[in-house]
Amino acid sequence: MAKKEEYIRKPEWLKIKLNTNENYTDLKKLMREKNLHTVCEEAKCPNIHECWAVRRTATFMILGSVCTRACRFCAVKTGLPNELDLAEPERVADSVALMNLKHAVITMVARDDLKDGGAKVLAETIRAIRRKSPFTTVEVLPSDLGGVYENLKMVMDAKPDILNHNIETVRELTPRVRARAKYERSLQFLKWAKEMQPEIPTKSSLMIGLGETKEQIIETMDDLRANDVDIMTIGQYLQPTKKHLKVQKYYHPDEFNELRDIALSKGFSHCEAGPLVRSSYHADEQVNAAAKQRQAQA
């Protein structure tokens, strides 16, 4: 008889407080009315109740809800995506204006079926938000867009306030964790973004608990800094379903505090690190300076 797989018990500090107040229900209703998707829902983010109910922020996921990649950590559906919805940028911008957001995060599914990887729709979404909410700062979290320079340039020419692209895991674990993505290609992507628009902060996220060592985490920090990445987030990997990779270790909050201090000592301008930290966690707080700068220029 096969031995049953053992799962590490989730520690106390990972318990999530549910909050389905009026903000939460209003935001959920708005997303359905506008036929929009959020990574908060699709990726089963543990912070959805804090962000929706308390902070009233959300991360919009454009280009549909079906991804062409099947990363072994991600809960977003995989398959053949629907046709492009060219009206989506305007609907996202309408929602941002209706919610009166100070900061909007726009992420996307990987669209390897498209020559531009979805770059044009992402760029149009940035521009639509600029037209309808000129004082809202915009953070984008694209896929690697196939690693094509021209695709990234299309996005950077639209001038987001932050370019966020996730390295996700350490170099050694990348082939097992990420589908089609490459560690070096992600670093190159971040380097290109900074070269194209030096004044725009770049950001990347690392999830830990997949079997990496502390030395590998620190090496990843060094690799990101070597490519001029400004902001880093570090969070605990949580297994979304039994089909996904198992958690190898739950890091204690004190370990996250230590990693944050190490990251800051290496020159990152900001680092969010904690068990429930995700790419866009408290993203609004990370661009206060950018928001003030935009208002001063208006």
Average of per-residue pLDDT across 116-130: 97
What's residue 6's pLDDT? 59
**25-29, 267-271, 293-297 — which one is most confidently predicted on average?**
267-271
Q: How confident is the model at residue 44 (pLDDT cuts 50, 70, 90)?
A: low
| Entry pTM | 0.83
Amino acid identity for residue 236 in this structure:
Q
The answer to whether residue 55 scores a pLDDT higher than 60 is no
Residue of higher predicted confidence among 278 and 120: 120
Q: How confident is the model at residue 74 (pLDDT cuts 50, 70, 90)?
A: confident
Q: How confident is the model at residue 1 (pLDDT cuts 50, 70, 90)?
A: very low
How far is the C-alpha of 135 from the C-alpha of 130, rounded, in Å?
Answer: 8
What's residue 298's pLDDT? 55
Q: How confident is the model at residue 103 (pLDDT cuts 50, 70, 90)?
A: confident
Q: How confident is the model at residue 38 (pLDDT cuts 50, 70, 90)?
A: low
How far is the C-alpha of 181 from the C-alpha of 255, rounded, in Å?
Answer: 28
Closest CA to 245 of 40, 7, 23: 7
How far is the C-alpha of 102 from the C-alpha of 289, rounded, in Å?
Answer: 12
User: Which tokens in the block code for residue 11?
Assistant: 């520690």
What's residue 79's pLDDT? 84
Q: How confident is the model at residue 25 (pLDDT cuts 50, 70, 90)?
A: low
Q: How confident is the model at residue 203 (pLDDT cuts 50, 70, 90)?
A: very high
User: Per mean pLDDT, which range of 11-15, 60-64, 98-102 is the poorest?
Assistant: 11-15
> What is the CATH code for 19-297?
3.20.20.70
The answer to whether residue 146 scores a pLDDT higher than 70 is yes
How far is the C-alpha of 188 from the C-alpha of 275, rounded, in Å?
Answer: 28
Closest CA to 294 of 159, 142, 147: 159
What's residue 89's pLDDT? 96
CB 133 within 8 A of CB 99: no
Categorise residue 83: left if φ over 0, alpha if ψ from -120 to 50, beta otherwise.
Answer: beta
